[in-house]
Amino acid sequence: GSVKLHYYEFYKVGIEEQNCSSKLVSEQEMSDIGPYYKKTWGDVGWNNYMIDVIVKGNSEMNAGIIFRATNVSEGGEGKDPYLGRHFYQGYYVGIVSDGVMLVKQNYSEKLLIKAEGEYQPGQDYHLRVIIKDNQFTIYLEDMVQPKISYIDLKPISHGRIGVRANGAITTFTNFEHKLI
pLDDT class of 85 with cuts at 50, 70, 90: confident
Query: Which residues on neighbouring strands pair with residue 95, listed in sequence order?
Result: 63, 100
Nearest to 46 by CA among 134, 158, 135: 158
Q: Where are the alpha helices (DSSP H) in the chain?
A: none
Please tell me the predicted confidence (pLDDT) of residue 28.
53
Query: Has residue 129 got a pLDDT over 90?
Result: yes
Task: Outline where DSSP puts E strands in 24-121.
Answer: 24-25, 30-33, 36-41, 49-57, 62-70, 89-96, 99-106, 109-116
Q: What CA–CA distance (Å, rounded) separates 28 from 40?
A: 14
Please tell me the predicted confidence (pLDDT) of residue 33.
86
More confident residue, 17 or 57: 57
* Residue 10, C-beta contacts closer than 8 angstroms, at least 6 positions apart: 28, 30
Q: What average pLDDT does range 67-92 have in this prediction? A: 88
Q: What CA–CA distance (Å, rounded) separates 167 from 158?
A: 26
Q: What is the pTM of this model?
A: 0.83
Structural domains in the chain plus CATH codes:
25-179 (2.60.120.560)
Nearest to 170 by CA among 41, 77, 81: 81
Please tell me the predicted confidence (pLDDT) of residue 49.
96
Query: Has residue 155 got a pLDDT over 70?
Result: yes
Query: Has residue 169 got a pLDDT over 70?
Result: yes
Name the average pLDDT for the chain. Answer: 85
pLDDT class of 29 with cuts at 50, 70, 90: low
Q: What CA–CA distance (Å, rounded) separates 104 from 83?
A: 17
Query: Has residue 1 got a pLDDT over 60?
Result: no
* pLDDT tens profile 93-114: 999 999 999 999 999 999 999 9
